[in-house]
Amino acid sequence: MQPFTAEVVRILKEIPPGRVVTYGQVARLAGSPRAARQVVRILHTMSEKHQLPWHRVVNAKGEIAVPDDESRELQRMLLESEDVGFLRDGRVDLSVFE
């Protein structure tokens, strides 16, 4: 595993229930602020294997960014079960997590 990937996996595992971070925040914390798309790739390919809390990561606008409706609904349901609130337009209010 590459050092950046290992650091992203470590960071993702530390996101506590009820918290949300963005792909960009994870990339910055892992030492590569312009690597948000790499974080997406890591989540897509390694979430199951490493039991990553993929549902706690949203895009920079606070939107659930998974492509299919079923996964989007699952992510929202998982976040709501952890008491993460949503704005009327369906976005997470990221200011709550600053």
Q: What domains appear along the chain, each with residue ranges and CATH number?
A: 3-97 (1.10.10.10)
Query: What pLDDT does 35 receive?
Result: 97
Outline where 1-98 has alpha helix (H).
Answer: 3-13, 23-29, 36-50, 69-81
User: Is the pLDDT at 22 greater than 80, yes or no?
Assistant: yes
Q: Quick check: 26 and 60 in contact, CB under 8 A?
A: no
Is 1's pLDDT higher than 90? no
pTM: 0.92
**How do residues 36-94 score in pLDDT, each as one tens digit?**
999 999 999 999 999 999 999 999 999 999 889 999 999 999 999 999 999 999 999 99
Q: What is the pLDDT of residue 98?
A: 74
How many degrees, rounded to 5, is the angle at CA 87 between CA 94 and CA 82?
70
pLDDT at 96 > cutoff 90: no
